[in-house]
Amino acid sequence: MGPFACLLNFSATGQSIQDRFARSISNAQAVTSVVVQMIETTVAPNMPVGDGTANLSSTYEYTYFISGPKFRVTRRLIAAAQTNSVRLSEVAYDGTTFVTYDADTQRMIRQETLSKSTSSELFYNPLIAPFMFLSENSDNCHGCMVRFWDLKASNLGSSRILPDGILTNGLVHLTVPGLPLGAKPTFWNIDIPKAGSSFDPETITYIAEAGGVEDVWKLRNYTRLGDYQFPATVEMIERAYPPTSRVSPLFTTTVNVTSARAPDEIDDSVFELNEATRSAVTIFDGDTGKFAYSAYDEVKAGFLKGRANIYDENADGAKQIAEALAAAKKSGKRVMLQFGANWCVPCHQLHSLCESDESIVGELSSHYVVALIDVSQGHNKEMVEKYGNPTRFGLPVIVVLDARGEPLVVQNTADLNEPESRAAKSLLGDHISAKKVVAFLKKWARED
């Protein structure tokens, strides 16, 4: 083995990679409070969408507050090519309670168990980027990440033994085994300058055989918080693995730290998300598996109050369908079954639209015999099973039958909703599109 490809765990300064690793962990542990802002831009060219592809992109601003084990992350959308991007989300831990909040839907989840993965946080946060290979992401904890305060854990410090590296062109190349993902091994390849006193990788590559991807992170512009050194810029490219003839990446992400400081202390109120709690329309208790609060229940009760039942909860569904088929045969029409329940808000919304919109009323009266089949509490279970369990899509669901009683189409009514943004949705959900309902009825009307 030549002089430029030798096994080693030392640098030209005489300080080993292992010592540099332990030193950087120690320097991170000495930083007690952190406030960091960063900008993340992701570009995904030719991303599969529906039957085709689209060029997707987004830019988010992240603000991190960290004080010991306590932290808060705010993720705010700056720009996106797609309309369904989350505009604002937050996650916080005050030392006893872990909270996630989606401001678009005003939904909150609270629990005492600290989750190791949230969509509000950056897996490749520059603050911990040099140590991302310590992640517990695996089959047992999918999406697990390393948080800054995790660096204070003793098992991530000097007790973690790094493998020997291979020196090539002034860089020490380390291969660190990861945890199994998809029942297959994963690997982290780390390239770090030979000389130095801190653990400052230039490139970290993650290979997940089961996922068929290779993620390459380039760590640039190292800066300091106290004595702790971390990259102010992280560039990530995800590509297919094993390499294929397709040279273009699946997507690319760049994260730039715009400000970083280490205040003496951070007020505890920062980690409590009090404003989010006051504006939440639902608060789910992750420990009990129940809603601690739901404004939806109040709105739903108000919506249903005074409304007449539209489904006969005592009717025999088989008899209803037989009568509808007989009537359709005489009139030359299709049969439209609406499976639903009286407690179902969208069922009432669809029924109201079918009675009030002139275009829908015209299509129904001209081409369909309608039967409303109650499925509450397992009622008419046999009919649900006969038509392929259409209620798996939720309620209401539409099944169109031909004159022989054979199903022509099962329509998930969620696909008939208006294409509204997340922010525009009401507590009661999406609004049903009259135009989409009319188009559906025209498509499946019997041809003369």
Euclidean distance between CA atoms 184 and 138, whole angstroms: 10
pLDDT band at 83 (very low <50, low <70, confident <90, very high): confident
- Strand ranges inside 81-197, DSSP E: 88-93, 98-102, 107-111, 165-168, 171-177, 186-193
What average pLDDT does the segment 256-275 reach? 95
The pLDDT value recorded for residue 362 is 96
- Non-local (6+) Cβ contacts of 247 within 8 A are none
Q: Looking at this protein, which amino acid is placed at residue 228?
A: Y
Position 423 pLDDT exceeds 90: no
pLDDT tens by residue, 155-188: 666 578 899 899 988 999 999 999 998 899 999 9
Position 26 pLDDT exceeds 80: yes
Contact (CB, 8 A) for 36 and 64: yes
Position 294 pLDDT exceeds 50: yes
Closest CA to 310 of 247, 371, 230: 371
Closest CA to 443 of 414, 405, 400: 400
The SS3 of residue 17 is helix
Fold of the domain spanning 317-444:
Glutaredoxin (3.40.30)
The pTM score is 0.69
What average pLDDT does the segment 139-148 reach? 88
Position 359 pLDDT exceeds 80: yes
Burial class, 256, CB count within 10 angstroms (exposed 0-12 / middle 13-18 / buried 19+): middle
The pLDDT value recorded for residue 247 is 54
The pLDDT value recorded for residue 428 is 65
Position 12 pLDDT exceeds 50: no
The pLDDT value recorded for residue 425 is 56
pLDDT band at 49 (very low <50, low <70, confident <90, very high): low
Euclidean distance between CA atoms 240 and 246, whole angstroms: 8
Instruction: Say whether the peptide bond before residue 396 is cis (omega within 30 degrees of 0).
Output: yes
**Residue 139: Cβ within 10 Å count:** 12
Euclidean distance between CA atoms 176 and 170, whole angstroms: 19
To 10 degrees, what angle do helices 345-356 and 434-444 make?
A: 70
Position 16 pLDDT exceeds 70: yes
Position 149 pLDDT exceeds 70: yes
Q: What angle do CA 74, 78, 80 make, to 5 degrees?
A: 120
Query: Comparing 10 with 296, which gets the higher pLDDT?
Result: 296
Fold of the domain spanning 7-295:
outer membrane lipoprotein receptor (LolB), chain A (2.50.20)
What average pLDDT does the segment 88-113 reach? 94
Euclidean distance between CA atoms 47 and 49, whole angstroms: 6
The pLDDT value recorded for residue 3 is 38
The pLDDT value recorded for residue 13 is 44
- Which structure tokens are listed for 132? 């991302």
pLDDT band at 124 (very low <50, low <70, confident <90, very high): confident
Closest CA to 352 of 437, 440, 442: 437
**Residue 421: Cβ within 10 Å count:** 11
The pLDDT value recorded for residue 79 is 95
- Which structure tokens are listed for 402? 């031909």
**Residue 415: Cβ within 10 Å count:** 10
Q: Where are the domains of the chain?
A: 7-295, 317-444
To 10 degrees, what angle do helices 295-304 and 345-356 make?
A: 40
pLDDT band at 379 (very low <50, low <70, confident <90, very high): very high
Position 328 pLDDT exceeds 80: yes
Position 1 pLDDT exceeds 80: no
Position 113 pLDDT exceeds 80: yes
